[in-house]
Structures are given as C-alpha cells and as structure tokens.
Chain A
Amino acid sequence: MVETTVSRRAALNEIYQTGDFGDITNNSPGVIFVERRALNIIHVAAWEEQVDTATAAIEQAIGVKPSRTACKVMSTDVTSALWIGPDRWLIVEKESRDLEAVIRKTMNTEMAAITDQSHSRCVISLSGVEASNVLRKGTTLDLDAAHFKTGEARTTSLFHMNAIIHCVEENHFDIYVARSFGQSFFEVITHASAEFGYRIDSPI
C-alpha cells in the first residue's frame, strides 16, 4: 500500500459522542449504536461470462464463495461478501491487511472489475429490541425476521438515503450509507430512536 501522511478518519469522528440518550427506562436502551470504523471494502463486479471463475477466485482469496443468490451474505470469521446486485459483491473486513491486493492475487480484470471503496461508506451497527422498529420508520422493506433473515443484506432507500441493510443476527443490523451522508444519516436515525432510548457505544 502507498504510504501517505494522511491518517484515516472515521465519518462520524467529529460528532460521535458515547452515552445514553432519549427516553431510556429501566436502564435498558431500545437501541444501541456502534460505528464500525476502518473497514476495508472492495467492490467486485464479475463479467457475466466469467462469474464462475470469478467466484472461485474470490473464494480462494478470502475463504468463502460469494453467493449468486439475491441478498445473501457469505461470511467467515473475518470477511463478509455481500450480494449487492447480479454478479456484484462488496467484500468487507476490518482493516488488517491489504484486502484489495489479497483479492487481486487470485483475480484479474479479465474476470471482474475490482474497486477499492474502503473510504466510501459510513457503517453503523444498530442492535437492540427496537432496532427493526427504528428501521421500519425509514424503509418500505419487510423487516419481519421470517422474511429478512440473518445473513441477508438488502439495498434500499432508508430515510430517503441509499443504504445497505445487513442483518447480522436478529435485531442486529449493519447499515452502510455513503460516507458523505454519514452525519446526516446518524442524526436522523438517532432522532428516530429517541422514543425507545438509545445508547452510543465506543466505535469498533
């Protein structure tokens, strides 16, 4: 990776404040927020006739084969591959190695377009018993656990912003929004959570 003098700065860095807010009863917030910082996010778009080769190459690189089933997320302990469209995935992990280089080792541009989008998103983890009720205020998706299952991700319009909602487990979602919308999104979603009481925990 090219060394620069610019250090990485999280999208919510300037406004992030841990603590309890809103209408918390019995010391039990309905929603808990955590910003997921310093993620490596690589966008892979496979060429139609090369999809099988491309998914096999990704598997070789990250240890799990991205799914061609809509909305499915395939994960190892370290890395997740989110389906975001036909033959397109976001490969995501906590920054620890040069993920793009790892992927390019087994893939080439004959198989797919590979783009580093690590700095493009603000990722907020939302959990708690009211998590899905907060999301319901801003999206038309069916968030019933029987329909939106653990290990699925859907791109939608959330509070009028384009967002990927990844259901990590029941009542636990990772939300991906464009970085430039990060503060605005955090503001609206915390407002929407105030009636349930919310806690902002330290970023991870």
Chain B
Amino acid sequence: MIRINCPWCGERNMVEFTYGGDAINKYPGLSEETTAEQYFEFSYLRDNPCGPHLEYWHHVNGCRQWVKVKRDTLTHEVLATGPADALLGGEKE
C-alpha cells in the first residue's frame, strides 16, 4: 500500500486518492501556434520510466486537492509530494 503525504492533510493511505495521470509532460496550451504534432506528442508519446516518476493524484476522499507526487515506479516509494503546481524536479520544459 502506498501512503501519500498530502500537503494539506498529512500522510494518508492511497485508497483516499485517485490517480490523475502523468505530471512530467506539459500541456501544450491552446494558442494558434500549437501544432497537432505537439498534441500527439503530449497525448501518446509518454516515457515509461523504471524509477522516479512524476504524477498527479487527487485527494478525492479527503481535502479534494490535487497533489503532485514523485514516486518510484519500481519500489512504489513516495519520494516527494507537493501542491499540483510545485516543482519536484524532473518536469519537462
């Protein structure tokens, strides 16, 4: 069982959270310069790291805030957490 340290509520079991997807990739935005290729890349070309990974979790059965989590995909160790806009290291430009 993974225990996630919610920045607001403290350490809670993962059953209180739902997984919210990859937090490494940056949303390409809606400007006119954004290309279909950028969206394709954002949507489908994901890394599948064995080791530290950034992801979003929603504390849905808790304070209902979005949490950014750095988790080791091999060991499930939670290395760092923060609010959704926190920089935990490893984000793509």
Contacts and interface: CB of A to CB of B under 8 A. Distances in A.
B60 to A, nearest CB: 8
A99 to B, nearest CB: 23
B87 interface: no
Interface string A184-196: 0000000000000
Given A70-B8, A71-B9, A156 B62 contact: yes
A86 B8 contact: yes
A88 B8 CA distance: 12
A86 B10 CA distance: 12
Nearest to B17: A157
Given A140-B13, A140-B15, A140-B16, A155 B61 contact: yes
How would you classify the secondary structure of chain A's contact residues: helix, strand, loop or mixed?
A: strand
A141 B15 CA distance: 10
A70 B10 contact: yes
Interface range on chain A (Cβ under 8 Å from partner): 10 to 19
B15 A155 contact: no
12 contacts: A70-B9, A84-B63, A85-B64, A86-B63, A86-B65, A88-B63, A140-B12, A140-B15, A140-B16, A155-B9, A156-B61, A156-B62
Given A140-B15, A140-B16, A154 B61 contact: no
A64 B16 CA distance: 30
Nearest to B10: A70
A13 interface: no
Contacts of B8: 70, 85-86
B16 to A, nearest CB: 5
